Chains A and B, each alone.
Chain A
Amino acid sequence: MSSDSDPPEYAPITARGLQRTFPEYQDQLKHAETVPARDGSYVDPHDVLRPELADPFSETVGDLFTHQAAALRHLAEDDNVCVATSTSSGKTYVYALQVARNHLADSDSTALLVYPTKALSRDQEQELNEFFGDLGLDISVRVYDGDTPQDRRKHIRETADVIITNFVGVNVYLGHHTRWHSFLANCDLLAIDESHTYTGVHGMHVAWTIRRLRRILDHYESDPQLVCTSATIGNPAEHSTRLTGKSFTVVDEDGSPRGKRDIAFWKPPVEEDALDPDADFEDFREAQTNPAREASAILAHLGLNGIQTLMFTRSRKNAELGAKYAGSAASEHPESGYLSVEPYHAGLGKETRRGTEYQFKSEQLDGVTSTNALELGIDIGSMDATILTGYPGTRQSFWQQVGRSGRGDTDALSVFIARADAIDQYIIDNPEYVLGDAIEDAVIGLENNPVYAQHLLCAAQEHPLTEEDREWFDGERLDRAVEMWIDAGKLAGDLSRSVRYTGPPRPQSDISMYTTSDTQFDVRCRDGEIDMEPIDKERAYRDHHEGALFLHNGAQYEVIEFNEDVPNPYVTVEEVRTNEYTETVSEKTVRNLDPEATRDLGNGYHLAWGTGTVEIHYTHFQRKKISSGKATTPMQPTGLPPIELNTQLMWIETPLSLQDEILHEITGEDPSMLTDGDVMAIFGGGLHGAEHGMIKLTPLELRMDKSDLGGLSTPVHQETGVPTWFIHDAVEGGLGFSKRIYEQVDTIAERTRERVGQCDCKGTGGCPACIMDSQCGNQNRYLHTQATVKVLDRVLNQL
């Protein structure tokens, strides 16, 4: 906790310092980066705000940051604004001040603020009321959501100036919008907080809900200005437009100050020399030093040197283990000593967590090991260092976790520890990936038809549909969807006059904001509660069949009942603590391909994107140890029938001749002399590896989870007739990801080729850091790294 501006080189608060002082250092530091300090850039509030606001703001808060000022200027010019700067850069003040401006211009003006969680809503209600109080304004801010007591609701709707809610609520409230008519008719501002969180399936539902909301606002002759506050994403303007249907000005130059920070890229040692070239997935897992242990060792080292540290882990279990390991590492340390470390995660009681927060703040603790529960929001004060056990999934989370370290203008250190995972290893090899400017894109797939159709039905209930609704609902599909629902008996009429809703009451309650089809499974916990949204049938079959183990919010559960045969299907789960995971084996076919976009790359190579039917049969599963990957049970049947998914896919076709070329290049022999087994192992392995690799590395480009995608590869596909590999969206109707992969295939294929080519695993079977995938339905057979590189090279050549 030195306040020198240049700490001595041996102090572990810098990356080099850590390298020099870490006991039994084995060359783990692969890269060190220093991020220089940045001063804040300020603007006098009087330059942007009228005196009635500028004066009190100056007194109570101070100056504006440049990005806040820029945003407010754009808002004054009637633009919609997306503020995409880091957390704690005061984005809330942007829309709060706009609300204040609107109120001064018209005291009847109202505003709707939408937050992603109820907890955040309530925090903000308090803060905003205080803020407006400080400004001397009589503006009432009220939360209105599922937890608001019934007898308060009417009063809030009729009297609040600012209403805070979430989109699950908005969906429902639109069903009886006449109760809201005076609020909506006066609405001048709609603010969407943390807008970058709206992607994937949830993002699609929110996008259509926003369109329905704007349509009803329009019905009450209201056209509010929009403000989105977002973390940094690659495509803020595009994302905001896809989310809301309006165009935005983006403000992303951050004027908030920050201190100097070192980031250490740390690779735990692997005893690779002990591995066979034929090592499989399980062998690799066993050989690697457990990253959690390594992280704890660093925590102990820093703590013993007086550096207060926060360690992020990927699961609750690891948070708890981490604290224990740190304790024992401290006693084994050369400077042996006592270390006070506590774990922190959502599974601990509120009292315990408050206690830990307090102790850390008051510097009674040397360290805390936590899940990403502490990534944002919660105030535990500042600390000197953070440790990231594994890549948290997105660059945004990465910087969030890194950004937690640092007190005022003193130095800060963050240590990123790579796990045996393709992305982690990619980052170790290419740290510029996280250090550079580019950030993942947030994707919303408006093309998904099932979600569109559900929201259209709700819109019809809210107000009959007419020709004018082409503006809100995508004229091209509107006619088909209306006809479909009329034939299904849910709508009646025609668009030239009006189309009315004739189905059962409250279609809004049939919408689940996290799934696409209308077959959803509820997730119930046998004794206790699990806070989990209903899941799609596809996901239920894949990850939640009877006997499956899965993680949710850092806790582990086992599925003990799977019941599809009832009107409301459900799975029952039980919380467990094992050191195992389950691996499911599946068979997959892709058919009924209908390409909508193609690129002829020449020489027999084709790239395509379109729709198709993916049939997946999850047949068997077994339990395996996490640490070693060794099976602990035999293969058991899942008891499930095949499932059919109509979704979007992208695929790459190669010429038939590629097979022989690759076989010959790799074996040096005449391909016709090789057995079928060899062909599958080598050429099949090459295609398979390309498919895996691209799926694993797509999250480098898009904000998503690997499990949102699935793939299939084959030396000869029955419909394309040539060697092909497919990457498809894993939900009914598609998510927009496969389309993005199609559009960004150059980059993704390049990154994949880089990673596989650079991977230092021995042999050709690949490893978890390049082309082995824990979710592979074929148990990672067959994979061939050299063939994969050659196949990708060929494709890249054509691109």
Chain B
Amino acid sequence: MSSPATTRIACASPRFVEQGDPTALDDWLSYFDPEIVLLTGGAPAPRAASLLRRRISADTHLFHPAGNAPASGPRRIDGVQFVFAPTVQTLREIHEYEGRDLDTSVPTFVLSGLLDLNVDTTTLSTSLVGREEYVSALDLKHLEGEYIHISTQLPAEYRREWDGLTVIGGGAEAGYADTPLVALDCRDDGRVLTRSLNRSQLGLRALDQVGRKRAQHLREAGFTNRDDIAEADSGSISDLPGLGQTTAERIQQSATAIAHGDIVRESEDPLPSGDPVYIDIETDGLNPTITWLIGVLDGTADGGNYMSFIQTDPEEPRRAIEDFMAWYTANASHRPLVAYRGWKFDFSVIHDHIVEYCPHYEDDWTSTYRFDPYQWAVEDGNAILPGRTNKLEDVAAALGYERADTGLTGAAVARAYQQWMADQSTATELDWDRFKSYCEDDVRGLAVIYETLEESGRIISTNESSRDTSDTTTQGTLSDW
């Protein structure tokens, strides 16, 4: 099965471009490595546009729909079809492009800034602003192809069908304040996958202990990128105001970790003893009502045995969890359960769903020893992880782990299952094997991280007792409110 052609669009707001320091921009571009850069915003931003033009490579397309002289018209980029539509006029021209520039047997992505959302809580109605004009210019009845409409005025996570018009958000406000930067992977089968990156994970700010102010001080002192810091004299960093010896060390180690793809141990705190049971769950979204897949790895990243506890029938939300708990209590009950960001997601979700669907397992669950390497390393400060974002896939990739390309993201998996839940038919039924291997990818990546943590560092302790009650220090505090 050949992979579909994919073209990546990196979206950014003018404010991000204008306010971000140059290394942040380079970093962002190198992280996403996009074919298209989409500059959002409703008004021309010539400064942002020219800043971008100077940084992108010659074969990267820049599209600024609100700009003064925007690109316009059909494009075929890396096998995927686009129409750059700065104005409604371009939409009218689409039916001319059909047959000539556009192959109507494959989907086309229409990029514009022409659709916006107005949520009016006083009248309790949401409207798609600009829809009427857009639709009448488009004249869908006379078009043969399939079109997906991406608008820079809509937020990146937005996806909706408005009366036959498939609308997707083009990253409005991306990179501004708390809104993450986002990339849209547009595939020639019409699907779009989103990936995100926080602004605070770029440039010097990706380093541990470095926030906005420190990044500024470091830049002013002549350290423009992470490699500079990794290679510098440790004295020259700790000499800076407000930076003591320990902090300077952490900053440097962090730069080294990212530059060389290493884990750096910061403490002598031991990892749990006992062979870990690695888990990763798939649900129906960030506010899940069902944990339908628990992927479990028993053994090593390379050779361990992967099992899936899966519930394909949404009407029976308890099965996957019950089967997993039955297996665990019978086979592995003294071993630590390991999940990446477990305390932020997996462990809480499983707990909630046990309470909801199979409460007889609650005591068994609360007496498990649960370990979250992300919390241990990043939040408790026991180690510095390579990969700038601390996301599982980035850290594992930085350690050399290669994923199979399932063409899925966490959000896409959740959406797919949601569609299956809403209407169980052959059209919506998931390719269960594909999803199991997506989950397996994550679990093996987790094992790689854990194993590297074990190998690295100064001392590995072996005197931890094997079964702990629920009130140990690595769990508990974050789960309480």
Contacts and interface: CB of A to CB of B under 8 A. Distances in A.
Interface of A: 150-151, 153-154, 172-173, 176, 178-179, 181, 449-450, 453-454, 461, 464, 477, 480-481, 483-489, 492-494, 497-498, 500-502, 505, 517-518, 566-567, 611, 646-647, 732-733
A487 B124 contact: no
B122 A733 contact: yes
28 contacts: A151-B477, A151-B480, A153-B480, A178-B351, A449-B124, A450-B122, A453-B124, A483-B125, A484-B125, A484-B126, A486-B160, A487-B117, A487-B127, A488-B126, A489-B157, A489-B158, A492-B418, A493-B422, A494-B422, A497-B422, A498-B289, A500-B418, A505-B286, A566-B177, A567-B178, A611-B122, A647-B122, A732-B122
B22 interface: no
Contacts of B481: 153, 172-173, 176, 179
Contacts of A486: 160
A488 B418 contact: no
B187 to A, nearest CB: 21
B123 A449 contact: yes
Contacts of B158: 489
A435 to B, nearest CB: 42
Contacts of B351: 178
B287 A449 contact: no
B125 A480 contact: yes
A500 B284 contact: yes
B352 interface: yes
B356 interface: yes
Contact of B117 (A151, A480, A481, A488): A488
Nearest to A453: B121
B103 to A, nearest CB: 31
A379 to B, nearest CB: 35
A484 B125 CA distance: 5
B164 to A, nearest CB: 15
Given A173-B481, A484-B126, A489-B159, A461 B287 contact: yes
A486 B159 CA distance: 10
Given A493-B422, A733-B121, A178 B126 contact: no
Contacts of A646: 122-123
Contact of B287 (A453, A489, A501): A501
Given A173-B481, A567-B178, A500 B287 contact: yes
B122 A150 contact: no
Given A449-B123, A488-B126, A502 B287 contact: yes
B124 A154 contact: no
A454 B355 CA distance: 27
Among A172, A178, A485, A501, the most chain B Cβ lie within 10 Å of the Cβ of A178
B285 A487 contact: no
Given A153-B480, A487-B160, A502 B285 contact: yes
B119 interface: yes
A738 to B, nearest CB: 15
Contacts of A477: 124
A449 B160 contact: no
A494 B418 CA distance: 12
Interface in B118-145: 119-128
B150 to A, nearest CB: 14
Closest 6 CB pairs of A and B: A487-B126, A450-B121, A646-B122, A567-B177, A480-B124, A453-B121
A517 B122 CA distance: 9
Nearest to A460: B287
Given A489-B157, A567-B178, A449 B355 contact: no
Given A173-B481, A505-B286, A178 B121 contact: no
Nearest to B476: A154
Nearest to A492: B418
Contacts of B42: none
Contacts of B287: 461, 500-502, 505
Given A480-B124, A480-B125, A489 B289 contact: no
Among B122, B123, B126, B178, the most chain A Cβ lie within 10 Å of the Cβ of B122
A154 B289 CA distance: 24
Contacts of B355: 178, 181
B121 A454 contact: yes
A481 B124 contact: yes
B180 to A, nearest CB: 11
B474 to A, nearest CB: 15
B351 to A, nearest CB: 7
Contacts of A181: 355
Among A485, A492, A646, the most chain B Cβ lie within 10 Å of the Cβ of A492
Nearest to B356: A178
A464 B421 CA distance: 13
B410 interface: no
A484 B159 contact: no
B44 interface: no
Contacts of A567: 176-178
Interface in B428-481: 476-477, 480-481
Given A484-B121, A489-B157, A500-B418, 16 more contacts: A154-B480, A178-B352, A181-B355, A449-B122, A486-B160, A487-B127, A487-B128, A488-B117, A488-B126, A489-B159, A492-B418, A500-B285, A502-B285, A505-B287, A567-B177, A646-B122
Contacts of B177: 566-567
Nearest to B359: A181
A611 B481 CA distance: 41
A609 B119 CA distance: 25
Contacts of B261: none
Contacts of A505: 286-287
B155 interface: yes
Contacts of B356: 178
A450 B481 CA distance: 28
A277 B18 CA distance: 63
Nearest to A613: B122
Contacts of A172: 481
Nearest to B481: A176
Contacts of B121: 449-450, 453-454, 484, 517-518, 733
B124 to A, nearest CB: 4
A154 to B, nearest CB: 5
Interface in B338-360: 351-352, 355-356
B304 to A, nearest CB: 32
Contacts of A500: 284-285, 287, 289, 418
Contacts of A178: 351-352, 355-356
B271 to A, nearest CB: 24
Contacts of B418: 492, 500
Contacts of A732: 122
A150 B178 CA distance: 26
A611 B287 CA distance: 36
Nearest to B470: A154
A484 B352 contact: no
Nearest to B176: A567
Contacts of B422: 493-494, 497
Given A646-B122, A732-B122, A150 B477 contact: yes
Contacts of B169: 489
A57 to B, nearest CB: 37
Nearest to B155: A489
Contacts of A517: 121
Interface in B277-295: 284-287, 289
Contacts of A449: 121-124
B426 to A, nearest CB: 19
Nearest to B352: A178
Interface in B290-346: none
B480 A489 contact: no
Nearest to A178: B352
Nearest to B423: A497
Interface in B18-56: none
Interface in B155-204: 155, 157-160, 162, 169, 176-178
B172 to A, nearest CB: 12
Contacts of A453: 121, 124
A456 to B, nearest CB: 10
